[in-house]
Every structure is written in C-alpha cells, then in structure tokens.
Amino acid sequence: MKIAPKVWKNGEFISWDDARIHVMSHVVNYGSSVFEGIRCYSTAKGPAVFRLPEHMQRLVNSAKIYRMDPPYSRDDFCDAAVSLIGGTEMEHCYLRPVIFRGLDEDKPAFGVYPLNNPIECYVAAWEWGKYLGDDAIENGIDVCVSSWNRYNTNALPAMAKAGANYMNSQLIKMEAKLGGFSEGIALDDRGYVSEGSGENIFLVNNGKLITPPLGAAILPGITRDSVVQIAREMGLEVVETTIQRAALYLADEVFFTGTAAEISPIRSVDRIQVGSGKRGEITKRLQEEFFKIVIGERPAPFGANWLTYVRPEGEELTVTAN
C-alpha cells in the first residue's frame, strides 16, 4: 500500500512517522473523534477529489455536534487535502481527515468531560483499492442481517461521523466476517433496515429505488446522495421509506453505497439469493454513470460540480470545479 509521506497537522505538514499522539489522549480513552473518508480519482486532467466540499462540510458539522471548535474552516480543510495530494505522485488515493480531542501535557485532564482537552486536526492519504474486494463491484457480495442493532439517534447522533459510532460498526463487521459474510446489515432500534457497518443501502423493486430515510439512524451519506441524484436524472423513482427486514429477501436488487464501497451489489442476504443472484441491471446502470462522473468523463447531474481537480506541481494549489 502506498502512503503519502506527509500528513497535514494543525496547519502544517509533518512526516507520516511523526503523526503520533499520547496514549492518554482523550480520544484514545473515550473515542472523542470525528472523521471523513474521501476518494481522489485518476482522471484525464489529473487527480480529482470527489465531492470534497461536501465531505469537509460534514466533517465540520460532525465537530459542531460534539462541541469541537477547530480553528480551521471547511475551506481550510479542502485546501489541506488538495495540497497534501499535490505534494505526492499519487494519481488516486483515499483521504482521511480527522478531528479529535488530544492531551494537554502541561495541564492534563483525564476524565470523561472533554472540554479541557485540546482539539487536534489531521489529514492523511493513502492508496486504497476496492473496499469489499476487487470483484465485488461486478459480482456482488454475500451479507447477513446483524444481531447488533444501530443505536437510537438520541443516544449517539447518526448525523455525525464520529469515531465512537464505529465501535458499533466493528461489532457488525466482525460478526459478519466470522460468519462467512463480506458485510452485515444493521436494523435500527425499531427493527427496520438501517445501513451496513459503513455503507448506506438501496433496494430496487419494480424499477423503483428504495432507501431508508435520513431519520432512520443512518449517516447522511454523500455517495448515497450522489446515487439519488443520478437516479433521478435517469428518470428513476426514488422512495425514501422504512424497510422491513423481509423486504431485503424479496427485492429485485440490493446494493451498498459509500466512499469506500462506492456502489457494491449484494447477491444474497442471510444466504437467501437476491434477484438473479448477481448484479442487477439498474445497479449496473447506476455504477456506469457514477464511475463516468468520478473520472470526469461526464458532468454531475443537474449542473452540479462534484470534482475538485488537483493542479500540477508548480501551479497555485487551489480548487477548480468540473
């Protein structure tokens, strides 16, 4: 795996090996972090980051929910990401911005109460392939419904992409993998379909695209939103509604969406075949349009700007829209 040799930390670049924190940092003990996952794709115009402003806006929104007040704006984080990629030879990569509560070694605070701990901000990058396997995009994956539910949104806010939330995701993912599946699907606290351990979920029935609503303990996924817009541009009806577990078994097609997963079809749920047991036609069409957009072969739907191009070395490191 190729890793960017520098990491952006609090406004400056440091060596990857120097990006370290104290073991007694608040984040280590209490999970007090928010983060993003962002993909940069190789295009004919060079590296381009997919929906960078939207991802960084969600990052600062997540921080606000947890009363974190970093001294950097959304645009500062965007510029950091572009500069980080621009300082490497990577044509494509995965970006990980993270904001967390560290430790003031001069005046350490060790309790749950977080506000006496300093805010640390980092952006790192590395090359990362297909999250669910190289053949998942075409052949699909086998998943299970997890015995672990998603949390109530009044216990942990699903709108925030917080590190602590992913302890729940780890339970879902481990159970699935140990059971011989690629991924798990969580139900919410009412028993309705929520999402995967790190992906949103869509069903296709009678030509309609169906997905849980944003109020259903799900992260407001940026790839999810992209698929909704692509589908509507294609003339597909998109329905956001509660989904019963059994509906997963009866769907014509089911697929995951996410920055890491992109658009990954699901061929079976709980060892019950979904549709024909392979990638469905609507999933394929959505994939084709999505991948054309992320590599700059066609514009985003409805005149939107979804690509931030990284300028060649020697030019000013600013962002330009597709």
Is 194 a member of any domain? yes
Catalytic residue numbers read: 161
- Residue 148: inside a domain, yes or no? yes
- pLDDT of 136: 84
Residues 209 and 273 reside in one and the same domain: yes
Q: Determine the length of the chain.
A: 322
Whether 118 and 79 map to the same domain: the answer is yes
> Which pLDDT value is given to residue 319?
43
CB 221 within 8 A of CB 213: no
Element (H, E) at 43: strand 38-43
Which pLDDT does position 1 carry in this prediction? Answer: 81
Are 167 and 265 members of one domain?
Answer: yes
In the chain, the number of structural domains is 2
| Residue ranges making up the domain that contains 92 | 6-126
Whether the pLDDT of residue 124 is over 90: the answer is yes
pLDDT of residue 226: 98
Domain boundary at 126, 155, 186, which?
126
pLDDT tens-digit readout, 65-110: 999 999 999 999 999 999 999 999 999 999 999 999 999 999 999 9
Pair (141, 73) in one structural domain: no
In the numeric block, which tokens belong to residue 197?
Answer: 């351990």
Inside any domain, residue 285: no
User: What share of the chain has pLDDT > 90, as a percent?
Assistant: 90
Q: Are 269 and 200 contained in the same domain?
A: yes
pLDDT tens sequence across 7-20: 999 999 999 999 99
91, 126, 161 - which closes a domain: 126
Q: How confident is the model at residue 25 (pLDDT cuts 50, 70, 90)?
A: very high
Residues 172 and 274 reside in one and the same domain = yes
Whether residue 270 sits in one domain with residue 167? yes
**Residues 319, 311: Cα–Cα separation, whole Å:** 8
Residues 23 and 66 in one domain: yes
CB atoms within 10 A of CB 184: 22
Can you give the CATH number for the domain in which 213 is found?
Answer: 3.20.10.10
Torsional sign, CA 18, 78, 163, 173: negative
pLDDT over 70, % of the chain: 95
> 17 lies in a domain?
yes
Domain identity same for 88 and 185: no
Of the CA atoms within 13 Å of residue 185, those in its CB half-sphere come to: 30
Domain C-terminal end among 98, 126, 154: 126
Confidence of residue 315 (pLDDT cuts 50, 70, 90): very low
Mean pLDDT calculated for residue range 31-42: 97
Are 151 and 76 in a shared domain? no
d(CA 67, CA 150): 23
Same domain, yes or no: 101 and 185: no
Q: Has residue 318 got a pLDDT over 80?
A: no
Higher local confidence (pLDDT), 222 or 214:
222
142 shares its domain with 272: yes
CATH code for the domain in which residue 70 is found: 3.30.470.10
